[in-house]
A = this chain, B = another copy of it.
Amino acid sequence: MSLDHILLGMLERPAAGYDLGREFESSARLFWSAELSQIYPTLKRLEKKGHLASREVPSERGPNRRVYERTPAGTEALAAWLREEPKLGHSRLPHIAQFYFLGELGDPDETHRFLLGLRRSLEERLAVYRTIEEMMRHDCPSLEDVSHEQYHRYAALRAGVLVAEARLAWCDETLTDLAARETTRANATGVA
């Protein structure tokens, strides 16, 4: 039920479902994703639960917006979740799953192609993160000056950067090992 708590966290200030959807597409992408079709019913459920309150607000451009805000009970529920043990959870890594079984194809070229493709995707992701990191660093000269909240946002981004870099390093390590295996194999057949 992490989504409940993530939405509560995002509602530090009042916002409509649509706004929260945008946030998942930008900053929250780092650690979660959710579609509007999941966000709207979840907000409704949280309101029924008493963790959120909503009111309709006329929009400047479009139909009325339903703006949600946390109730004291909601704030309490969020705080309780934040104080829980860090939840490492089960990672779902489809790309590692693919790689794990890729050996069954028995074709080193497929593995090579796969790693190059993965490398490119990771470079792209890292470039986005680095751009945001620079923007944040540009806004404030020293890390020690930013607000407590801003610091957490910055640090979360750093987690994304460090992990993406580690995955890139893994691609390179694995490509190197693969090449070494290939030359060994070539020599073996060459000698034989």
Interface residues of A (CB under 8 A from B): 2, 5-6, 9-10, 12, 28-33, 78-79, 81-106, 108, 110-111, 114, 117-118, 121-122, 125, 143-144, 147-153, 155-156, 158-160, 162-163, 165-167, 169-170, 173-174, 177-178, 180-181, 184-185
Interface residues of chain A: helix, strand, loop or mixed (majority):
helix
Residues from chain B with Cβ under 8 Å of A159 in the complex: 96, 99, 167, 170
Contact B90 A181 (CB under 8 A): no
User: A121 CA to B86 CA in the complex, in Å?
Assistant: 8
Total copies of this chain within the assembly: 2
**Given A121-B88, A155-B174: A82 and B95 interface contact (C-beta under 8 Å):** no
Nearest-neighbor residue (CB-CB) of A12 within chain B: B104
Contact A170 B184 (CB under 8 A): no
Nearest-neighbor residue (CB-CB) of A124 within chain B: B88
User: A2 CA to B100 CA in the complex, in Å?
Assistant: 13
User: A110 CA to B148 CA in the complex, in Å?
Assistant: 12
A29 to chain B, nearest CB (A): 8
User: A50 CA to B89 CA in the complex, in Å?
Assistant: 33
Selected contact of A104 from candidates B78, B158, B165, CB within 8 Å: B78
Nearest-neighbor residue (CB-CB) of A94 within chain B: B87
User: A32 CA to B95 CA in the complex, in Å?
Assistant: 10
**Given A105-B82, A148-B106: A93 and B32 interface contact (C-beta under 8 Å):** yes
User: A99 CA to B149 CA in the complex, in Å?
Assistant: 10
Selected contact of A181 from candidates B30, B151, B184, CB within 8 Å: B151
A1 to chain B, nearest CB (A): 10
